[in-house]
Amino acid sequence: MTSTTALRPSAASAVGGAAPRARAERVVDDKTMLRTAAELTRDLHAPRPAIYWSDLIASVAVGYGALAAAMLVRPVGWAIMAGVVAMLALYRAGSFIHELSHIKHAALPGFRSGWNALVGVPLMVPSFMYEGVHNLHHAKTRYGTVDDPEYLPLALMKPWTVPLFVLVAALAPIGLLVRYAVLTPVSFLAPGLRRFVVERLSALAINPQFRRRSPEGEAKAEWMRLEIATSMWAITMLTAVASGVVSFRAFAIFLAVVSGVTVINQVRTLVAHLWENEGEAMSVTAQYLDSVNVPPPTLLPALWAPVGLRYHALHHLLPGLPYHSLGEAHRRISGVVDDASPYHKASYEGLPGLLGRLMRSTFAPR
């Protein structure tokens, strides 16, 4: 959910004096797999509003309830436990931003506005920071290239880039406060700063070379409404703390919980892909194989990869499926394709093995 200053592999190799890894063999599309996946899931594309709303409202209620408990209870142990619950619940609620970038809003009337009011503005991640950005990650000719805002070849980079990647996320709440409470209002008076804010500070991207274009039409109007609302919220929070209306302890707990949310998301991002592409355009099958599914019976991904994110590879295969359909889609496809199908090769057991694979790759000789 944050940007990073990590070097791309060519630059990293130049600095470190190591030769870049040989390019992986091109993967051609497995048309049988692609056709089977499309045919078996034609009836699963309709989002179900009752599931979306009930899931979001329950996550928000638990998240903010636990956050309030963390601020109010005095025993440190209980406060920490409440804070962890708040982090996980608000992380789940925040993960719906991914759905907002894919669903047709007419199919879920009011959901984007509701999500922004309940989650996007309070956590300072309004939906415009993802909508219009994430879809570029799914463009067939952009995935894994320098034009992909959500891709860095982390597996081919230096080992220090992985902890740096997480550290940047831990500092995100401070960066978001500065962005919305200070830079946003000032940028409306300074065109040069405004251009910088729009291009560099208005996208949940990890590629430091990505530059966002200014929005137009209704997208610009929606952006402005959400940006002003988020700016007013951030200013109000700081004013309340400075005036003593909100205690510094409560504010620090809020920032810690939001930091925890962004760190969990950043760790999940580390294992969402294998990050092994060096900038070449990839086939759909190659994009799928560079992505990760962590299907059942593993249970913990329900916490660290919620709202369908445990089926990230399948999502790249069928980006139009709502999150509540991905489990059924995986069951159907995996039960039909043969054992030699590439479909099975994107499934992994869990977080530790994927993190270990990534770290081993960063230490591999180039």
Reference 168, options 272, 267, 279, 271; nearest CA is 267
Amino acid at 127: S
- Name the H helices within the chain: 9-16, 31-40, 49-72, 76-94, 96-100, 111-115, 134-137, 161-170, 172-177, 184-187, 191-200, 217-242, 248-270, 284-289, 301-304, 312-317, 326-336, 351-363
| pLDDT at residue 2, as a whole number | 39
| pLDDT at residue 73, as a whole number | 95
What's the pLDDT tens digit per position in 184-203? Answer: 999 999 999 999 999 999 99
| pLDDT at residue 366, as a whole number | 73
Average pLDDT over residues 345-365: 95
What's the pLDDT tens digit per position in 4-26? Answer: 333 333 333 322 223 333 344 58
What's the pLDDT tens digit per position in 264-314? Answer: 999 999 999 999 999 999 999 999 999 999 999 999 999 999 999 999 999
| pLDDT at residue 25, as a whole number | 53
**β-strand partners of 291:** 273
Q: Is the peptide bond before 297 cis (omega within 30 degrees of 0)?
A: yes
User: CB-based burial of residue 359 (10 Å sphere; 0-12 exposed, 13-18 middle, 19+ buried)?
Assistant: middle
Q: Is the pLDDT of residue 333 over 80?
A: yes
User: CB-based burial of residue 215 (10 Å sphere; 0-12 exposed, 13-18 middle, 19+ buried)?
Assistant: middle
| pLDDT at residue 8, as a whole number | 35
What's the pLDDT tens digit per position in 130-180? Answer: 999 999 999 989 999 999 999 999 999 999 999 999 999 999 999 999 999
What's the pLDDT tens digit per position in 226-256? Answer: 999 999 999 999 999 999 999 999 999 999 9
Q: Is the pLDDT of residue 115 over 50?
A: yes
Average pLDDT over residues 101-114: 95
User: CB-based burial of residue 131 (10 Å sphere; 0-12 exposed, 13-18 middle, 19+ buried)?
Assistant: buried
User: CB-based burial of residue 28 (10 Å sphere; 0-12 exposed, 13-18 middle, 19+ buried)?
Assistant: exposed
What DSSP string describes 48-74? -HHHHHHHHHHHHHHHHHHHHHHHH--
Q: Is the pLDDT of residue 204 over 60?
A: yes
Q: Which tokens is 195 given?
A: 């251009």
| pLDDT at residue 14, as a whole number | 27
Reference 164, options 209, 206, 200; nearest CA is 206
**β-strand partners of 276:** none
| pLDDT at residue 365, as a whole number | 86
pLDDT confidence bin for 52, thresholds 50/70/90: very high
Residue tagged 């996550």 (tokens): 59
What's the pLDDT tens digit per position in 63-73? Answer: 999 999 999 99
pLDDT confidence bin for 1, thresholds 50/70/90: very low
